[in-house]
Each structure stands twice: as C-alpha cells, then as structure tokens.
Amino acid sequence: MKDSQTDHLTADEIERLATETTAEEPHTSAKHLRTCGACRREVDFLRALDRRLVALPHAAPSAGFEGAVMARVRMPVPWRKRAVEALRPRWAGLAAATASVALAVGAMSYWLFGVQQLTPSGLAAFVLDSARVLALRGLIAAGQLSYSLGLTQLAESVVAAGWAPALAALAALGTAGFVSMMIMWRLMQVRISRPRVARR
Amino acid sequence: MTYSEKSDQELVRLCRRGDERAVREIISRFERPVFSLIYRMVRDRELAEDLAQEAFVRTLNNLRRYDPSYRFSSWLFKIAYNLTVDHLRRKELDTVSIHGAPDAVSPDRQAATSITLAASDERPDELLEARELGDEIETAIGDLRPEYRTAILLRHVEGRSYEEIARTMDVPLGTVKTFIHRARAELKEALEHRMLEP
C-alpha cells in the first residue's frame, strides 16, 4: 500500500492533479502533495506547461488551401445520378435511332402494302427486278464511260498487238510486289516481347 | 441546422453522398489543427501545406474506409501523422529550430521555415515576453523527437485522450504514455527556468 508521506506520486497521478481541476483529488495524492515539494513542483510545472501549450496558436494555411484540396477531391456521385448520367447519351441515341427506323419501316410498309397493294412475293419480285435494272444501268454507264475515255480502243489495240499476256504478267507481278511490301512493312511494326532478364 | 453546427459524423455521411458543402465544412473545420501539427513537425510552410493537402485529399477520397465507431478527427490526424512521419524518415529531418529548418540555407528560406506566432492585444512588453516564451516553447518542442513531438502536441494542444493518440500514432497505449512522459521531461529540462517564474 502506498505511503502518502514517503512514496512520490506516479506520472498518472501528477497528470490527474495537474489537468483535472474540477474532479475531487484522491485523498492520499492531495495529502502527499501538501508535504512533498518535488511532487508539487512536478504538478506546478505540468499545469504551467499545459496552460502554455493549450494557448499555442494554430497556424493557418494559405488562402487557397481549401480550393487546392477541393480540386483534387473526387466527389462521390449518388448511384441514381451516376446511373442516369451513364445511360443518358446511350438512351437518347438508341431511342432516336429506333424511332427513326420504326418510322421509316412504317412509312415504307404503308406505301408498299397500302398504296401500291403489293403482296410479300410481289414485293420480292419488285426488289429483284429493281436490282437487275439498276445493275444493268450501271454496266451500261460504265461501258459508255470507258468508250468516251478511249479505254475500249486502247484495249482493242493492245490485244491486236499481242501485248495482252505481257501486260497481265506485269500487273500480276506489280500486285504481288505491292502485297509483299505491305506485309514486310506490317511485320516491321510488330514488337516482339521478350521476358526481362535481370542484370547481374 | 447549418453545416457548421453539424457533427463530424453527420458531415462525413453527407460527404459520402456527394455533398460538396459538407466537404468544404470538413476542410475548414480541420485545416488549422492538421496544418499546425504538420507545420510544427516539418517547420516548412510550403511543405506543410503540401502534406496537409495530401492528408485531406487521401482522407476525403477514402471516406468509404472510415470506421464511424472512431472519431473522424483521429482518422484524419492519423493519415496526416503517417504522411509526415514518412516524409521525415525520408528526409531525416529530425531536429528543427524555431529559426528555420536545418536545411534552410538562405534568409528567404529561413523566413519561410520559421514559425510566426499570431499577434494578440497584449501590451508591448507583455507581448514581447509572451513571444519570447512562445519561441522557447516552440524551439523546445521542435527539439523533441518526432514521436514525442506528435504525442505532446496531440495531448496538450489538441486535447486528445491517450487512447486516441495511440490510435493516431498506431502504437500501444503504454508507448504513448512513455512518449509523453519523456517529452515532458525534456521540455521540463528546457523550460523549467521560465515556466515556473512567478
């Protein structure tokens, strides 16, 4: 058991006496303090130190501190807002595309099956016939163009002179050379990854 | 209820929901204590601002990891303390002076790294006296080891309990008591002649 006359106070007891002003001081500690100058000095010093340290001013950061922190903080976004934000552009685009396609299909169907009174097989025949007509018109236009540019006459003179096989061979060689060059160029771009070897 | 009247826990809850005003309130509530602690440890205003900024950014960007059963400020101080100690370990900036950081080689640098105490409305002689004593206290605190310095500042300047300091510094309770006991002994040696004057 502690003897209030001889045993000095512990660090905890000194701190309690120095910092807790309202609490009742334990009888033995208070009694010891009245008779022990060393412990009294300890308590007095701690009281003075605490008073001084509590009074130490808080240093303030610069005026732009808050703004600098805010610029780097990733503000959490509520999940509902996040979902709407994430889906809004896709939804808008998807809805517009779907509406456009539906409108076009509806209008076309109405015109073909309503106004033109077509059946599905009639529609298929109409589509095939239209494609055939378009292809023929394309061929005819290409022939007219080559004739007006003089390509037809040129081809006739090449065939008449017997240069056709040589030209065909040259074209084949040129094509093969071009393809080979493209392959080489592509291969030069490929980086071969090798396992890293530690230096000794 | 205004934001300044809300509790720390309430502000954290609002921050998690993305309330920007709550984030600003947290910064304004803790910027001075956090900055002061770091400033007193590194004695370099620019560096202290960088470290304090980093501490706030890490804290606010990781609010999901915060355990609400502990005080928010303890968690914030812990992050600030760890960042500062990591920096000090890297730079080996253990001993500092009130007149500037030891690596302050020019007058400008010394001015930037010395602590300026706030002016008060005391009489000039009292102000001078208080400033001198304040300087001595700051010097004595600056001469402490970083662990002792943090423990004594958290205990006396921030009024934290031993348990909170232990959590902040991530050391056992007994170690905190040892830190504070030794810090007081060193401060007593340095300041007793001034502190106990009538």
Which of A48, A69, A75 is the closest to B196 by Cβ? A48
| DSSP 3-state of B125 | helix
CA dist B61 and B96 (Å) reads 32
The tens-digit pLDDT sequence of chain A (200 residues) is: 455 556 777 877 777 777 765 455 566 677 787 788 888 888 888 888 888 888 888 889 999 999 999 999 988 776 777 677 766 766 778 888 999 999 999 998 888 888 878 787 888 888 899 999 999 999 999 999 999 998 888 888 888 888 888 888 999 999 999 999 998 887 776 655 444 444 43
CB spacing of B23 vs A70 below 8 angstroms: yes
CB spacing of A53 vs B138 below 8 angstroms: no
Which of A49, A60, A70 is the closest to B187 by Cβ? A49
CB spacing of A76 vs B15 below 8 angstroms: yes
Residue showing tokens 């009742």? A24
Q: Which residue of A has its CA nearest to B33?
A: A58
In angstroms, how far is CA B88 from the centroid of its own chain? 14
Whether ipTM > 0.85 holds is no
Q: Within 13 Å, how many C-alpha atoms sit on residue B158's CB side?
A: 28
Interchain CB contacts (distance < 8 Å): A and B: 101
CA dist B126 and A57 (Å) reads 16
In angstroms, how far is CA B63 from the centroid of its own chain? 21
Beta carbons of A25 and A17 less than 8 angstroms apart:
yes
For B33-55, what is each residue's pLDDT tens digit?
999 999 988 888 999 999 999 99
Q: Which residue of B has its CA nearest to A40?
A: B196
Considering only CA atoms, which of B158, B187, B189 is closest in space to residue A58? Answer: B158
